[in-house]
Structure 1
């Protein structure tokens, strides 16, 4: 099986290619340097030459705050790029896996969102990702839409790396404590995505590590695992304003994964322990 992965230079795309290689699949990872997904002609020609059986579309414009100002670029990447890739997949009758986000929801309430809940993004980034979802559903039959949240991986920057870097110079910091969700380790998620690529249980799914926490709780656990004595003070979203509104409730139910026979991801605390260990090995 030949699998094309966009966004190879990012956290998730990198781990998806590694996981596919571990299973002896033919993996082609591409970044913006090899393929500009905003260029329709280039996308169609590239995919026609490669003729993949599956496209796993990890590439995205993910700078949530910048998206509020740089709307044209965000739309071009997240909407137009997705459209061109989905059409290219349709031409080959290839499977298509589109990576979406918890930001498609409004973040209200305190119960986990299920896949059928109404999307109502409050920021431009979330809007473009939801538009991408709708395009995929309108063009293809053999598709997976996988909504993820709070991603961390070896290849790239993330909340964990930021916390550990800050801890080098500070012994106390404030972190938002009223936004809840699930951290997601790309190593674990990549295994699920390859499982999906090898199956035909198409549809919309939520996928993140099991369990919920807020950012302050996440930070405290990071320092605990890293054996660091930094003090974390929990603050409100209003005390840490950002250009783009963050959803306070990013909890997502993953029950559908179980119902469809996919293996759920381990709990986030377990993922964090393995990740911090991996980081320490990389430093050595």
Structure 2
């Protein structure tokens, strides 16, 4: 690592499951002081602490906090401020949105709530860090999704919120370009997590596996390593970028590729018949 992360303060919202947990572990394995937040009742702190211990990572600070609450956010930064004079990196990972099963689910309240949870915390937490420490974090990384521009089941409002998030990434990077704060995002495609199953249904993973496309499903640690790299110091020439993490599958995982594969298979079958 170019940047020495030991003892650096890192905040990962939604850091107790899936990509958030993997990211928190990646930083903690570099001996960073990691704070993870979660919604009430969504995690067992003892289980989270055990996962860090099993990985040989520095123990995290685990806080219940609603990312949409200014008071809860201020309390999170007060906890960080007891041992640190700045926040080194913010990973805005919370992704909570109303699922849409049909047109009758289109309600403005659901859309606005999805944006409030999945997009706005990037800005609000950066502002809270500035208020608490009189400086901006060195790095901010937002977790988006490829659902912004490709179809994901039930994802109408989530995709809309992630589109807002990616817009904020670009504009915040511009607004903070002279403040020493590097803002970027990552766009995982399909990561095998409970969140994926809850959003698109339990059958999707099996469907994806039947395509036999290497890399169609990503691991959480692969996304975490991209986030870690963005805070490593080696990619400081990047700002306002949203990096796609998908093993390149979006290039060749399409109807034409499957048609070509199946055509080739049929050709082989005909050759064998002869």
TM-score, length-normalised on structure 2?
0.58
Shift of the 187–208 alpha-carbon distance from structure 1 to 2, 3 Å rule, reads same
How far residue 104 of structure 1 moved from its aligned partner, in angstroms, is 2.1
Instruction: Give the Cα–Cα distance (whole angstroms) in 1 for the partners of residues 157 and 210 of structure 2.
Output: 21
Q: Which protein has the bigger strand share? A: 1
Unaligned runs of 5+ in 2: 1-7, 41-63, 81-85, 258-274
More relative contact order, 1 or 2 (CA 8 Å, 6+ apart): 1
Question: Which residue does the alignment assign to 1:129?
Answer: 162
SS at match of 2:242: strand
Asked if residue 100 in structure 1 is aligned to residue 144 in structure 2, the reply is yes
Q: Which protein has the bigger helix share? A: 2
How far residue 71 of structure 1 moved from its aligned partner, in angstroms, is 2.4
TM-score, length-normalised on structure 1?
0.56
Residues 197-206 or 18-27, more deviating: 197-206
Instruction: Give the Cα–Cα distance (whole angstroms) in 2 for the partners of residues 164 and 82 of structure 1.
Output: 29
How far residue 61 of structure 1 moved from its aligned partner, in angstroms, is 1.1
How far residue 59 of structure 1 moved from its aligned partner, in angstroms, is 0.8
Asked if residue 187 in structure 1 is aligned to residue 221 in structure 2, the reply is yes
How far residue 202 of structure 1 moved from its aligned partner, in angstroms, is 2.6
Which structure would you say has the larger Rg? 2
Instruction: Give the Cα–Cα distance (whole angstroms) in 1 for the partners of residues 208 and 223 of structure 2.
Output: 29
How far residue 58 of structure 1 moved from its aligned partner, in angstroms, is 1.0
Aligned-residue RMSD, C-alpha: 3.6
Asked if residue 24 in structure 1 is aligned to residue 31 in structure 2, the reply is yes
From 10, 18, 24, give the equivalent of 2:17: 10
Count of matched residue positions in the alignment of Structure 1 and Structure 2:
192
- Within 5 Å, give how 1:48-197 maps onto structure 2: 48-50=78-80, 51-62=86-97, 64-65=99-100, 68-69=106-107, 70-91=110-131, 92-94=135-137, 95-105=139-149, 123-139=156-172, 140-141=176-177, 142-153=182-193, 156=194, 158=196, 162-163=202-203, 182-197=216-231
Instruction: Give the Cα–Cα distance (whole angstroms) in 1 for the partners of residues 150 and 204 of structure 2.
Output: 30
Shift of the 90–149 alpha-carbon distance from structure 1 to 2, 3 Å rule, reads farther
Shift of the 158–68 alpha-carbon distance from structure 1 to 2, 3 Å rule, reads same
Question: Which residue does the alignment assign to 1:260?
Answer: none
Unaligned runs of 5+ in 1: 108-121, 167-172, 218-284
